[in-house]
Structure 1
């Protein structure tokens, strides 16, 4: 179950409680507004995402939504999904001692200014059509499903195909297929609930 607020999120990640609390206190010294999006603390200015905090198995961290625009003079940021992620950058902390509040705040303030100035990383649109064999077979064998699928834009259709293709194991592909069938039938795009 997704947390309703940041306190709940931190309580679900007690292993990183001190790091998360410190990062939160640094962010809360700025003008950013605190929210929960995608089940994690996300901070916005003028309703635009700027930075988030998160806890993972091996680290706690910040992610900057347009981190590729940051100067990163201290060389703290990484692209967590090289080749996939264009704009977002992470800053990982393995211990609370690695968190340098003044430096963290300077990065956050730069990110806020970038957002206020409307600076964003432009992401090239994918031109190719992606086809998942598993989804194609399902669409071929279920006319009602195909009719529902055909209502979606090409971009949304590609999202469904890509979601299936990204899975490496056949069992995972089948699980994902079973997850998206009701979404397709109800006219819900794969990422619609996150875009609200």
Structure 2
């Protein structure tokens, strides 16, 4: 057991103002998180702390994470999209998530009931990593470019060059963000606001 995970269980991830206080969400799921920790370690994974939460690896490769949220705690597989999911318990954490899959828990009884199944999924995830399997990610060019942004790109060669110079992940982030606005005015406002960031080579959430 990694002492950094003991600290996580006591103080939380530290990414919000509630870290280290009784209101921190890790205190809502102590039994569940400790059960998941023991279950995962039983599968022979190495315990580390990455992105401020418990992360479990095999030969240095990320396999899964355990995390606490307000309404649940989760077991999250980095390449969950490649798992068979015979029991249909994996979920996409977000609508546009391509690789990761999560299993959400709201009580320790469900974890205990699923323990053999969860271990099967974990061992399968390890084998996926050993085999070097990769998720076939959708390319940024396959995402819809909002009409408002396409007009800006067509009319501004420098902006088009700056956008094309971004990584595929950054391009995807902008396209999804711009497209998610329902009204044209909102899309235009988002494009205008983030154009300077695109010129700087920054992604949507880069600082």
Q: TM-score, normalised by structure 1?
A: 0.67
Is the Cα–Cα contact under 8 Å of residues 52 and 63 in structure 1 kept in the other structure?
yes
CA distance in 2, matches of 1:9, 1:174: 36
1:91 matches 2:103: yes
Aligned pairs (5 A) from 1:185-196: 185-190=199-204
1:17 maps to which of 25, 30, 45: 30
Which stretch of structure 1 is more off in the superposition, 135-144 or 121-130?
135-144
Structure 1: stretches of 5+ with no match in the other structure = none
Q: CA deviation at 1:157?
A: 3.5
Q: CA deviation at 1:18?
A: 2.2
Aligned pairs (5 A) from 1:54-93: 54-73=67-86, 75-80=87-92, 84-93=96-105
Partner residue, 2:61: 48
Which stretch of structure 1 is more off in the superposition, 59-68 or 75-84?
75-84
* Distance verdict in 2 for CA 1:61–1:130, change over 3 Å: same
Is the Cα–Cα contact under 8 Å of residues 130 and 158 in structure 1 kept in the other structure?
no
Give SS of 1:183's match.
helix
Q: CA deviation at 1:166?
A: 2.3
* Distance verdict in 2 for CA 1:158–1:23, change over 3 Å: closer
1:42-68 CA distance string (max 9 Å, x none): 322234321122333332121212223
CA distance in 2, matches of 1:145, 1:127: 16
Aligned pair count reads: 187
* Distance verdict in 2 for CA 1:70–1:155, change over 3 Å: closer
Give SS of 2:57's match.
strand
RMSD: 3.9
Q: TM-score, normalised by structure 2?
A: 0.65
CA distance in 2, matches of 1:58, 1:95: 11
